[in-house]
Copies of this chain bind each other. A is one copy, B any other.
Amino acid sequence: EILEQVLSFFVPKSLAGRRVLITAGPTFEAIDPVRGITNLSSGRMGYAVARAARQAGAAVTLVSGPVGFPVPQGVDRINVRSALDMHAAVMARAAQSDIFIAVAAVADYRVANAAEHKLKKDHGGVPAIELIENPDILAEVAALPDGPFCVGFAAESRNLEDYAQAKRRKKNIPLIAGNLIQDGFGGDDNRLVLFDDNGSHPLTPASKEVLARQLIEHVVKLTGKQ
Size range of the chain A interface in the assembly: 35 or more
Is the pair A36, B37 in contact by a Cβ cutoff of 8 Å? Answer: yes
User: How many copies are assembled?
Assistant: 2
- Chain A contact surface mostly: loop
State which of A38-46, A54-62, A84-92, A207-215 sits at the interface with chain B: A38-46
Residues of the B chain whose Cβ atoms lie less than 8 Å from the Cβ of A47: none
Q: Does A117 make an interface contact (CB < 8 A)?
A: yes
Residue of B nearest to A120 (CB): B163
The CA-CA distance from A220 to B109 in the complex, in Å, is 47
Q: Does A129 make an interface contact (CB < 8 A)?
A: yes
Known A-B contacts A109-B126, A118-B181, A131-B127; the reply to A40 vs B31 at CB < 8 A is: no
Is the pair B129, A133 in contact by a Cβ cutoff of 8 Å? Answer: no
Is the pair A158, B126 in contact by a Cβ cutoff of 8 Å? Answer: no
